[in-house]
């Protein structure tokens, strides 16, 4: 680095022997939402399952109701506060999904916000269209309703989102209570025809064959994967589709079955880790906490977990040439931790050891360093 001509103009920061990592790349978040669902938290603790709560009008539809009623300004204020917290925990790039709007106006409201937020604050935001999150209430009255919603996504929203360049990826929640494998295929293929690369919520609550569908379509990533079987694990081991694991969901929902990270890694899969920041299953944006869960619950080593949350997350967002590692030619995206050994980053949990975050060479979080 020092030998490069550009280095002459650079500042030297003295970081006092702390641990320096590439900034985290959080490849799965539902950044824009209107409010928490703390009211459902108590129901969950009392024993209600995520699906039961959803069947009784809670769950994603609860967040849809709140988002539709919220102004763009209020949503923006909440997202900006979250983005500052992402930066404070060492994240420099995050993916953000729509999916709490589920009608033309509200989905466009979220996707437009992604673009505004990208322009107005330092972190990099990668936008994903998730119109196929669940079937909205107004399409639930008749047996043909869900298919009409899928048609609306394919013929109306996806073309408009692509035309206005509001998203880079198209995602589907393929699960019981959401979209079938056949519907997911239709939506993701329509996305592809319009230049939106596929990714998929797969095998979270039940096994639907979503992971196999994702790989068949060349998806950038299959996310969740708690319910995969041996054939899925073998296929992911041979595939370039990333296996994105989000242990924050299982932790928050109190589920015992975490994704089989060890078999996936040992079988050759590209495993990444993400927070899945969202109000229903994973209300956290703290990547170091996800690393702690990955080590203790998924049996990943600290080194595997850090690679999963940096370079493999970048690969899942098709930005591995640009971010995710500290190399000449890549962006200056850096997270510095106040620990003596990188293993202490997951080892300490529930405390923030991130001392400074740098995005594109600019300090976006942290104290005033000693400049040499």
Instruction: Quote the least distance from Cβ 37 to ligand NIG, whole Å.
Output: 7
Q: Rule CB under 6 A: is residue 129 a binding residue for ligand NIG?
A: no
Integer angstrom CA distances of residue 219 from 103, 126, 262, 264, 312: 25, 16, 22, 17, 14
List of residues 6+ apart from 18 with CB closer than 8 A? 336, 337, 338, 339, 355
Instruction: Quote the least distance from Cβ 301 to ligand NIG, whole Å.
Output: 25
Q: Rule CB under 6 A: is residue 59 a binding residue for ligand NIG?
A: yes
Q: Would strands 242-245 and 13-14 be described as parallel, antiparallel, or unpaired?
A: unpaired
Whether the Cβ atoms of residue 61 and residue 128 lie closer than 8 Å to each other: no
Cα–Cα distance measured from residue 72 to residue 366, given in angstroms and rounded to the nearest whole number: 29
92, 98, 281, 292: which one binds ligand NIG (CB under 6 A): 281
* 3 state DSSP class of 63: helix
27, 29, 63, 241: which one binds ligand NIG (CB under 6 A): 63
Residue 55: CB atoms within 10 A of its CB come to 12
Instruction: Report DSSP letters for 246-295, one per residue.
Output: -HHHHHHHT-S----HHHHHHTT--EEE----BTTTB----HHHHHHHHH
Cα–Cα distance measured from residue 4 to residue 321, given in angstroms and rounded to the nearest whole number: 19
Q: How many residues in the shown chain lie near ligand NIG by CB under 6 A?
A: 13
Q: Rule CB under 6 A: is residue 58 a binding residue for ligand NIG?
A: no
Instruction: Quote the least distance from Cβ 167 to ligand NIG, whole Å.
Output: 16
Helical (H) or strand (E) element with 162: helix 158-163
- In terms of phi and psi (left: phi > 0; alpha: psi -120 to 50; beta: otherwise), the region of 20 is beta
87, 249, 306, 309: which one binds ligand NIG (CB under 6 A): 249
Kindly tell me which of 176 and 230 has the beta carbon lying closer to Fe ion: 176
Residues in 199-218 that interact with ligand NIG by CB under 6 A:
201, 204
Q: Rule CB under 6 A: is residue 173 a binding residue for ligand NIG?
A: yes
Torsion sign over Cα 198, 201, 203, 208 = negative
Q: Which range binds ligand NIG by CB under 6 A, 58-66, 86-94, 138-146, 323-331? A: 58-66
Integer angstrom CA distances of residue 371 from 16, 350, 355: 11, 30, 15
Torsion sign over Cα 246, 78, 40, 139 = negative
Residues that bind Fe ion (CB under 5 A): 276
Q: Rule CB under 6 A: is residue 186 a binding residue for ligand NIG?
A: no
310 binds, among Fe ion, ligand NIG, none (CB under 5 to 8 A by kind): none
Q: Rule CB under 6 A: is residue 278 a binding residue for ligand NIG?
A: yes
Kindly tell me which of 7 and 74 has the beta carbon lying closer to ligand NIG: 74
Q: Which residue, judged by CB position, is nearest to Fe ion in the bound state?
A: 276
What the block records as the tokens of 108 is 């466009």
Instruction: Quote the least distance from Cβ 332 to ligand NIG, whole Å.
Output: 31
Instruction: Quote the least distance from Cβ 171 to ligand NIG, whole Å.
Output: 9
249 binds, among Fe ion, ligand NIG, none (CB under 5 to 8 A by kind): ligand NIG
Extended beta strands in 133-269, E state: 169-173, 197-202, 221-224, 242-245
Instruction: Quote the least distance from Cβ 28 to Fe ion, whole Å.
Output: 6
Kindly tell me which of 197 and 334 has the beta carbon lying closer to Fe ion: 197
60, 235, 243, 270: which one binds ligand NIG (CB under 6 A): 60
Kindly tell me which of 90 and 279 has the beta carbon lying closer to ligand NIG: 279
280 binds, among ligand NIG, Fe ion, none (CB under 5 to 8 A by kind): ligand NIG
Kindly tell me which of 30 and 319 has the beta carbon lying closer to Fe ion: 30
Interaction site with ligand NIG (CB under 6 A): 30, 59-60, 63, 173, 201, 204, 249, 276, 278-281
């Amino acid at each position: 680095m020092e030998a490069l001509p550009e280095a002459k103009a650079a500042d030297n920061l003295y970081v006092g022997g702390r641990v320096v990592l590439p900034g985290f790349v959080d490849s799965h978040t539902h950044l824009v939402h209107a409010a928490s669902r703390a009211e459902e938290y108590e129901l969950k603790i009392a024993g209600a399952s995520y699906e039961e709560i959803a069947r009784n009008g809670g769950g994603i539809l609860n967040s849809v109701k709140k988002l539709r009623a919220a102004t763009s300004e209020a949503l923006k204020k909440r997202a900006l506060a979250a983005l500052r917290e992402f930066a404070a925990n060492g994240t420099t790039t995050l993916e953000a999904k729509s999916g709490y709007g589920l009608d033309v106006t509200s989905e466009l409201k979220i996707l437009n916000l992604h673009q505004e937020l990208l322009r107005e604050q330092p972190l990099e935001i990668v936008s994903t269209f998730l119109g196929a999150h669940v079937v909205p209430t107004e399409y639930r009255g008749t047996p043909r309703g869900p298919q009409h919603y899928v048609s609306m996504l394919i013929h109306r929203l996806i073309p408009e989102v692509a035309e206005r360049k509001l998203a880079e990826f198209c995602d589907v929640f393929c699960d019981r209570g959401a979209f079938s494998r056949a519907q997911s295929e239709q939506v993701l293929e329509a996305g592809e025809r319009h230049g939106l690369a596929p990714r998929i919520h797969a095998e979270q609550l039940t096994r639907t064959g979503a992971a196999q569908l994702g790989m068949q379509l060349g998806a950038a990533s299959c996310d969740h994967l708690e319910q995969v079987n041996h054939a899925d694990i073998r296929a992911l081991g041979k595939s370039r589709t990333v296996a994105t694991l989000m242990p924050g969901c299982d932790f928050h929902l109190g589920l015992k079955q975490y994704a089989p990270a060890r078999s996936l890694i040992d079988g050759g899969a590209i495993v990444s880790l993400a927070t899945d920041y969202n109000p229903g299953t994973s209300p956290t944006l703290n990547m170091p906490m996800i690393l702690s869960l990955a080590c203790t619950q998924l049996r990943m080593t600290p080194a595997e977990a850090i690679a999963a949350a940096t370079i493999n997350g970048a690969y899942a967002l098709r930005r591995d040439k640009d971010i995710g590692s500290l190399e000449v030619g890549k962006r200056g995206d850096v997270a510095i931790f106040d620990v003596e050994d990188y293993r202490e980053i997951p080892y300490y949990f529930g405390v923030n050891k991130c001392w400074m975050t740098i995005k594109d060479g600019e300090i976006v979080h942290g104290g005033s360093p000693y400049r040499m």
